[in-house]
Amino acid sequence: MQSLWMLVAALLFSLVAAFVKLAIDAHSAWEIVFWRNVIGLAVLLPMSLRRAGGLRTLALTPHWRSHLARNVSGTTAVVLWFATTAFLPLATALTLNYTSSLFLGALLVAGAWRRGERGPQRRMLAALVIGFIGIVCVLRPTLAREQALWGAAGLLSGALGAIALLSLRALGKLGEPSTRTVFWFSLSGVMAGAGGMLAFGAHWPDARHLGYLVAVGVLALFAQMALTHAYGRGKPLLAATLGYSCIAFGSIWGWLFWGDVTPAEAWGGIALIVAAGVWSALLTAQAAVAGGTARRA
């Protein structure tokens, strides 16, 4: 039952995307990233400082290169995802963001081949092909020609998200505490957002848009907590599968608030992407179990 927390996380992440779409008519993606992370830091920093025993212990790390890779890729992925919500239907933007699992599978296959390792590579490739066919099915009926650039930006967001996931895995193997990882990622979001605001301009939000921005920050914070709960205490494969319900939730908000209707062909593509993502997650889990068994032998 713990994995059902993933449904809560998926619902909250879909609401984050909806409020981003509401806010981005008056504020840039840089501003939204800034507000999201400022709110997150304001809530989490006092708790993190108490747990770590001070700012010096929380912040100092010998693994700054891994943090840099995680923060640059992850923050850029978030900026691109927020930007695409302004120009694409909500369900499409969420679908493209969730292609990170497919790109992660591709990176894992490439790494295994480079190391000469044997494993379920052919089945993983089949899953990836199915997933990328699904991407084509999603993009063709839902995007106008002038939206193609933003479709590419959404795919780039998914690819960078996969790199961020690999970097996050590397930090875990290095023994970095989650509080330090979250601290540096949130701080990088604040700095990136502030830099974008300085470069491209910003303004103080009115009462309505301030509410949208606060909602993005608070909902994203609770979504991350639910996500951590789902993966920390539930079954990872089930949690990953339930995570795709975010796309369905997003399609509901898109229909209710913006009149977006997802064509049947696009739903077929979404089904292929979900199936491929679940299959690749299963193959990755099986490979991890096999690798652990081989090392113990």
pLDDT band at 77 (very low <50, low <70, confident <90, very high): very high
Look up tokens 């032998």; give the residue: 297
- Is residue 297 over pLDDT 50? no
Q: Determine, yes or no, domain membership for 164.
A: yes
- 285 pLDDT above the threshold of 70: no
Would you say residue 295 lies in a domain? no
CA distance 104 to 123: 15
**pLDDT tens by residue, 154-164:** 999 999 988 98
Q: State the pLDDT confidence band at 291, using cuts at 50, 70 and 90.
A: low
In b/e form, how buried is each residue of 216-226, taking b as 16+ CB within 10 angstroms?
bbbbbbbbbeb
286 domain-assigned: yes
Closest CA to 70 of 175, 226, 184, 229: 184
Average model confidence (pLDDT) for the chain?
Answer: 84
Closest CA to 7 of 226, 172, 210: 226
Enclosing domain of residue 166: 2-290
- Of the segments 134-138, 170-174, 208-212, which one has the largest average pLDDT value? 208-212
What average pLDDT does the segment 236-258 reach? Answer: 83
Query: What integer pLDDT is reported at residue 121 of this predicted model?
Result: 67
Alpha-carbon distance of 174 to 189, in angstroms, equals 23
Asked if residue 233 has pLDDT above 80, the reply is no
**Alpha-carbon span 99 to 224, nearest angstrom:** 19
Q: How much of the chain exceeds pLDDT 70, in percent?
A: 87
Q: Yes or no: say if 15 and 85 are a contact pair by the CB < 8 Å rule.
A: no
Q: Alpha helices, DSSP H only, in 60-177?
A: 64-87, 90-97, 100-115, 121-142, 148-173
Residue 294 has pLDDT above 80, yes or no: no
Residues 119 and 286: their CA atoms lie apart, in Å, by 9
In the block, tokens 């081949």 appear at 113
Q: Report d(CA 61, CA 59) in Å as an integer.
A: 6
Is pLDDT above 60 for 1? no
How large is the average pLDDT for residues 268-283? 82
129 within some domain: yes
The residue-averaged pLDDT of 40-56 equals 85
Determine, yes or no, domain membership for 6. Answer: yes
Q: For residues 124 and 247, which has the higher predicted lDDT (pLDDT)?
A: 247
Q: What integer pLDDT is reported at residue 189 of this predicted model?
A: 94
Nearest 5°: the CA angle 92, 96, 99 is 145
d(CA 20, CA 217): 10
Q: What is the pLDDT of residues 248-265, one digit of tens each?
A: 899 999 999 999 888 888
Residue 296 included in any domain: no
Number of domains in the chain: 1
Classify residue 297: in a domain, yes or no.
no
Q: Which two tokens stand for residue 105?
A: 């599978």
Q: With 90 as the cut, is the pLDDT of residue 192 above it? A: yes
